[in-house]
Each structure stands twice: as structure tokens, then as C-alpha cells.
Amino acid sequence: MNEIDPRLRYTPESVRAYQIGDELVVKDGQLNSLAARIADEYRKDTVSPSMVTGLLRVGEFVGLALISTAIMLAYVGVPYTMMVEYPAAILAGSTLYLVFAEIVDAYQIRAIRNTLRWFPRVALMWTAAFAVMTLAAFFMKASEDYSRVWFGSWFLGGLVFLFLTRLLLNWRVRRWARNGTMERRAVIVGGGTPAEKLIRAMEAQPDNDVRICGIFDDRDDERSPLVVAGYPKLGNIEELVEFTRRARISMLIVSLPLDAEKRVLHMLKKLWVLPVDIRLSAHSHRLRFRPRTYSYIGKVPMFDIFDRPIRDWDRVAKRGFDIFFSLVGIIVLSPVMLATAIAVKLTSKGPAIFVQKRHGFNNEIINVYKFRSMYVDQQDATARNAVTRGDPRVTPVGRIIRKTSIDELPQFFNALKGDLSLVGPRPHAVHAQTRDKLYGEVVDGYFARHRVKPGVTGWAQINGWRGEVDSDEKIKKRTEYDLYYIENWSLLFDLKILFLTPMSLFNTENAY
């Protein structure tokens, strides 16, 4: 059993005791003490199963190629007359094994968790790769060009490598499963009998990587029991939003019948702003569709409602993009940043860098760096009072660097650190507002912008929506462009925005 599994620890009496003894008034998305306690147990991030299997693919390909290269160098030496043949064979053999192993599902988590049972299949695919290479060499009359000792040693060395790699990963995956490092954390939305049937069905699945962290339901205790199948009801839908962010939940499973259309839509309207997968359980539905209509947890069918944006390997690719271009930006623009820092320091008292708290990914609070553009005694860290044209709080140097967006350049270091991405929705100050309303009060679904990391630049900015936000329409437009970016993200889209950003800076109509 998992070390922090909430099952079998709660009874209706114990949950009710928490409620009675809870001095916290639950409002504005705060958690009751039981939900807060459980959320804190899940605070650390997890390793996605798809990331593990992806790394295994890369590791096996590189490992097999390195083993072959080492044997070649040790036995054959550097074959100057065959600079193409050996590398081509190494690449072909490693690739063929990868393809064959993929075909027989040897990169599924269940194959990693059952190494001894699955290894004969893995060994057969490695053998098949060599059989194909042997046939190819025979028909191409190239078999005499290769060392048989190298060929046989690579086969045996690769076989040992594959077995030891999978055995080690098997041990690691089992350990991660026990301590909660590798799992998909899920919350059941909706209680009662449908939730109990769903939980029982999920628990019956072998090698299930989904950990149920609790149940949330708006209904009272009579219609929705305090404990279902050993899992406690932790609160209502308002509390669920905060719990999901705090506990690093990756999946919400709505356990409601399809005919409860109003309730489902009401819940989804509140939940779609979260960076999670949202699934509607189809386990108890009599209506059946084609298998491709569903996604599955084991054999339990689900309807896909929302998918988490920029996940797994896309997230790795985006992080690599951010690191590379942030370093390039820092190197290329370092003279400009140094000159700006000196100018800020020489023309007004105070530090060159201004740090402001803003909303980051998943609504977390991050510190964002800027060159200081205001007089120290008139700074507004909360951004309640937006900068306006001719604002007396702005220094002479500040007017220049704000208009040209040079004040934002220190955010390259935020991107390098990982708090920001280079491209994404611009981060707004925690208390930013238009007129007398916070942005979240103006735009329905505003916090859906935080399903991805905020960016140094973004789609809204290069389309002219930067600078002062002095009307409801402006923040609505920004949010509209931000949501378009999230739904249509790709590395090419990021590259396009990054290279269009310098040209967009010529539009200074709202920058002051």
C-alpha cells in the first residue's frame, strides 16, 4: 500500500470530528483542516509515467549504441576505410530494436513493473533486430565488411545491458510507486454510489498508477456520504480548486451521470481553469460508444473533457527552449542591461532591480524581476494603481525603459530559473486591477491563463495588447489572446512569437 494513501484511515466519525473541531471558516477557496492536512502530504511534484518510459527509450537507444561503439573501438579500432558502414550498422541496430520493442508494448509501465515476465519478449525483439541486420548484410553482400566478434559481442553485451537496465528501473519504479513519486494523483468529483462503483472498478485494475486523494461534492452529507470506499469527502467544489493546486493533482474524475447535465456544466465552469486532465467517468453509463471515443484507466472507460496543456515531453522541450534562448538573450543583451542598471542607479536613489510578486503557473506566487522605473518611495508593489501617461511616480530613465520594454529584460533570469517561460501569458501582479475590480472579477475564467507558466513575452503582447490596462475590454482581450496561445501551443508558435516581439515593441501607444 502507498505510504500516503488516504484509504482505510478515515471513518464517517473521524471525518465528522475534523469538521466539528475545525476552527477555520471555509471561504474564498480556503481549505478545511482535513483537506489541508492531506494536501500537504502531496505537496512535492511527481514523475509522470510517460516521462519514465520516454527516458527508458532514450537510455536504451544510447546505451546500445555506446556498447557497440566501445566494442568496435576496442576490437576493430577506428575503421578509417569504413567511416560510414559501422556507424550505419550501429544506428540501424539500435533503431530496429527500439521500433520492435515499441510494437510489442515493451515500453509500457506494466512491462517495466514485471521485468522477469516481460524480458523474454524484450530479448526476442533484440534478437529480431540482429536477424534483420544479418539478412540485410547478406542480401547486400556486405557481411564480410563487419567483424563477427564485434557483431556477436554487441548482441551479448546488449542483452545483458537491457536486462540490467530494466531490472534496475523495475526496482526504482516500485520504490517511486510506494513513496508517491511516480503516480497520477486524482480526485473524484461527486460522491455517493456512482463514486463508490468507480473507485472499486479502478482499484481492481492491475498496475494502476492513479492514486485517489479524496472526494469533493457540493451535496450535503445525507446525499453524499462523508466516506466512500474508504476515501473521505474533503469539501465542496470551491475547496477543490485550492486543494488541486496545493496537492499537485493531475486528474479530476467527474463521477456524475450524463443526465445530470446542469451539475456537470456547473462544475466544469469552475474546474476548467486548472492545469489538470478532466475526465467524465463512463463506467456506469449504459450508453456505449466506439472504443476510440474513450480513454482508459486500465479497462475503466473515461470521456476526455479537458487535457492538461504542455505536458510531459512537450514541457521538457519548452524548458530546453527557454534555457537556450534565455542564455542567448542574456549574453547578447548584457551590455544593454549593464548600461540600464548604471543609469537607474545614477539617476535616482534605490536598487536597480525591482522585485514584484505576481501570479505564476497554477496560481502560485512568484517573484518577478524588473529594472526599477519608479521612485523608491512611490513604488506600488501591489500594482493596484496602474501607471498612466505622465505618471509622476515614474523616473526620467523609467519612462524610457518602460516605453522600450527594457525594464523587462531581467526576466530572462526568471526564465532561466524556471519561474517564467520565455513565451506565455504575461504575469500580472497579485492585486492587479482595472478601475476598482481585480482582473479575476472582470473576466470569467481569467485564471485559466495560469494553466501554463507565464512568459517574458506573449501572443497578446505582439498583437498590441501590452502596457496600461485601464478598461475591462483590454484585460478581456489579453485573456482571449492568452487562452488562444495555450490551446494552440507549439515550439514553432513560441519561435514565431519570440522573433516577432522586437517588431511589436515599435507599438508604444499604451506603454508608458
Please say which residue of 126, 160, 179 terminates a domain.
Answer: 179
What confidence category does residue 294 fall into, taking pLDDT thresholds of 50, 70 and 90? confident
Q: Are residues 267 and 370 in the same domain?
A: no
Report d(CA 193, CA 163) in Å as an integer: 45
Report d(CA 199, CA 212) in Å as an integer: 8
Beta bridge partners of 367: 357
483-496: per-residue pLDDT in tens?
999 999 999 999 99
pLDDT (0 to 100) of residue 415: 94
Report d(CA 404, CA 511) in Å as an integer: 8
Residue 34 within any structural domain of the chain: no
Would you call 446 exposed, middle or buried from its count of C-beta atoms within 10 A (0-12, 13-18, 19+)? buried
Would you call 346 exposed, middle or buried from its count of C-beta atoms within 10 A (0-12, 13-18, 19+)? exposed
| First-to-last C-alpha distance (Å) of the chain | 58
Residue 350 within any structural domain of the chain: yes
Q: Are residues 82 and 220 in the same domain?
A: no
What confidence category does residue 22 fall into, taking pLDDT thresholds of 50, 70 and 90? low
pLDDT (0 to 100) of residue 411: 94
The three-state secondary structure class of 277 is: strand
Question: Is the predicted pLDDT of residue 81 greater than 60, yes or no?
Answer: no
Please say which residue of 265, 280, 306 terminates a domain.
Answer: 306
Report d(CA 420, CA 359) in Å as an integer: 10
Q: Are residues 193 and 157 in the same domain?
A: no
Query: Measuring CA to CA, which residue among 93, 100, 103, 107 is closest to residue 58?
Result: 107
Report d(CA 32, CA 190) in Å as an integer: 18
Residue 344 within any structural domain of the chain: yes
- In whole numbers, what is the pLDDT of the chain averaged over residues? 83
With cell 475545525, the residue in question is 22
Residue 39 within any structural domain of the chain: no
Q: Are residues 244 and 391 in the same domain?
A: no
Q: At what angle do helices 115-139 and 85-103 cross, to 10 degrees?
A: 140
Question: Is the predicted pLDDT of residue 481 greater than 70, yes or no?
Answer: yes
Question: Is the predicted pLDDT of residue 169 greater than 70, yes or no?
Answer: yes
What would the mean pLDDT of 297-313 be, rounded to a whole number? 84
DSSP string, 390-406: T-TTB-HHHHHHHHTTG
Residues 451 and 274 sit within 8 Å (Cβ to Cβ): yes
Which residue range(s) make up the domain with 447? 312-504
What confidence category does residue 306 fall into, taking pLDDT thresholds of 50, 70 and 90? confident
Q: Which residue type is seen at 100?
A: F
Question: Is the predicted pLDDT of residue 370 greater than 80, yes or no?
Answer: yes
Q: Are residues 358 and 493 in the same domain?
A: yes
449-476: per-residue pLDDT in tens?
889 999 999 998 888 877 666 677 888 8
Residue 248 within any structural domain of the chain: yes
Q: Are residues 248 and 135 in the same domain?
A: no
Q: Are residues 361 and 474 in the same domain?
A: yes
Residue 14 within any structural domain of the chain: no
Residue 35 within any structural domain of the chain: no
Question: Is the predicted pLDDT of residue 346 greater than 50, yes or no?
Answer: yes
Residue 363 has what DSSP assignment? G
Bin 471: left if φ > 0, else alpha if -120 < ψ < 50, else beta. Answer: beta
Residue 7 within any structural domain of the chain: no
Q: What CATH number should be reported for the domain holding residue 213? A: 3.40.50.720
**Which distant-in-sequence residues (6+ apart) come within 8 Å of 155 by Cβ?**
126, 127, 130
**C-alpha cell of 95?**
533503431
What would the mean pLDDT of 20-40 be, rounded to a whole number? 64
Q: 3 or 145: whose pLDDT is higher?
A: 145
pLDDT (0 to 100) of residue 224: 78
Q: Are strands 251-254 and 184-189 parallel, antiparallel or unpaired?
A: parallel
Q: Are residues 300 and 318 in the same domain?
A: no
Q: Are residues 205 and 292 in the same domain?
A: yes
Residues 109 and 182 sit within 8 Å (Cβ to Cβ): no
Q: Are residues 297 and 436 in the same domain?
A: no
Q: Are residues 111 and 162 in the same domain?
A: yes
- Whole-structure pTM value: 0.77
Please say which residue of 281, 306, 331 terminates a domain.
Answer: 306
* Count of structural domains, the chain: 3
Q: Are residues 475 and 404 in the same domain?
A: yes
